[in-house]
Chains A and B, each alone.
Chain A
Amino acid sequence: MSDLSPSLNNAGGEETASPRLLSADFSEARDWIALLKPRVMSLVVFSGFIGLLVAPGHLHPVLAFTAVLCIAIAAGACGAINMWYDRDIDAIMRRTRNRPIPAGRIEPSAALGYGIVLAIGSVLLMGVALNVTAAGVLALSIAFYVFVYTMWLKRRTPQNIVIGGAAGAFPPLVGWAAVTGSLDVMPLVMFAIIFIWTPPHFWSLALFANDDYRRAGVPMLPVVAGGKETRRQIVIYTLLLVPLTLVPWLLGFSGPVYAIAAGVLGAGFLISVWRVATDRQDATGVSLTNDAPARAAFRFSIAYLFILFGALAIDHCVSRFI
């Protein structure tokens, strides 16, 4: 009986502080945080912050913090609404079945309300604290993620993450607009880089999560077109991505620090996806190595974008001081 919590043995009903109950309370808080998809949020926040950093002009640190906070809250809101909408397929997929809603720890309606309040709150705060353009782009990015990607494309077409990838590409535009109140070529180039980066990133994941997606009926490219075609598409998009990352340097928006970083990272990404393309596979394109190269490419793609945009920021700071 030693494994029973004191509260269950508490016949008198006294309100004793049970370690198990206390930990349950913390786990509830963790579930509400998990609804915000913090790992996805980190990349969104980072790219938004870089957009804000490289934009011409000056922003008071408090306002800059508020802009980044709004981007983070909006990204979290998208995650919560996405989890509410996808709760049926999340329950089927191994990777997602322990999420708070399919696991029954949070009511779907509560998650939806949470997402809507955060979404509206982030846009209003952005509008009040920064400017209408930034708020408008933020609202557009939320609407794109929720309505275009989650509700429309995700379950209908293998091009879901190609078009839907635009939703994740908005943050640099929001960051830039927060500083300048307008949009320009540079944030659009940053948008394009994330847009073209998304397919090789996501399809690497889809390759090793193929069984999950098939079981859930989500028409990801490996499910619909098979592993071979997916690997080919990953290489094509990466070949488009690498020269695109050099555009900021070619247009004079960045200097040699960024150009060298983009070149080296691009070579690394190409090697990584080439390994995916030449992975040992059977006649139907199923990996014989448990998709080890795809797993490596997925991890590399995350580091790639972080370092690439980090280099852009470093280059910007260096050029300011020289």
Chain B
Amino acid sequence: MTDAEAAAFRRKQKGRNIAMLVALSALAALFFAITIAKLKHF
């Protein structure tokens, strides 16, 4: 792997990690909102 490819790989990994973090945060927020909504419902 050349230096350029390694840098591109690292950048992709970083992008994927950020995407995963955003997705998990959104999921956590959604589950929190669902819980609140259900508590109000019942």
Once the chains bind, are A7 and B7 in contact (CB under 8 Å)?
A: yes
Chain B contact surface mostly: helix
Which of chain A's residues has its CB closest to B3's CB? Answer: A13
In the complex, what distance in Å separates the CA atom of A15 from the CA atom of B33? 40
- For residue A22, which residues in chain B have a CB less than 8 angstroms away from its CB? 11
In this complex, how many residues of chain A approach chain B with their Cβ under 8 Å: the count is: 23
The one of B15, B19, B37 that contacts A62, using a Cβ cutoff of 8 Å: B37
Once the chains bind, are A60 and B37 in contact (CB under 8 Å)?
A: yes
Name the residue among B6, B34, B36, B38 with the largest chain A CB count within 10 angstroms.
Answer: B34
Whole-angstrom distance from the CB of A18 to the nearest CB of chain B? 8
Once the chains bind, are B8 and A13 in contact (CB under 8 Å)?
A: no
A2 at the binding interface (Cβ < 8 Å): no
Whole-angstrom distance from the CB of A111 to the nearest CB of chain B? 15
Whole-angstrom distance from the CB of A77 to the nearest CB of chain B? 15
Stretch at the interface among A23-31, A160-168, A264-272, A276-284: A23-31
**What 14 new A-B contacts, CB under 8 Å, besides A7-B7, A21-B8, A63-B34?**
A10-B3, A10-B7, A13-B6, A15-B7, A16-B7, A21-B11, A24-B8, A24-B12, A25-B12, A28-B15, A60-B41, A62-B37, A63-B38, A66-B30
Chain A residues packing against B (C-beta within 8 Å) = 7-8, 10-13, 15-16, 18, 21-22, 24-25, 28-29, 60-63, 66, 69, 128-129
Can you list the 8 inter-chain pairs with the closest CB atoms, starting with the nearest? Answer: A13-B3, A62-B37, A60-B37, A7-B4, A62-B33, A25-B15, A129-B34, A15-B7
24 A–B contacts from the bound complex (CB under 8 Å): A7-B4, A7-B7, A8-B4, A10-B3, A12-B3, A13-B4, A13-B6, A13-B7, A15-B7, A18-B7, A24-B8, A24-B12, A25-B11, A28-B12, A29-B19, A60-B37, A60-B40, A62-B33, A62-B37, A63-B34, A63-B38, A63-B41, A66-B30, A69-B30
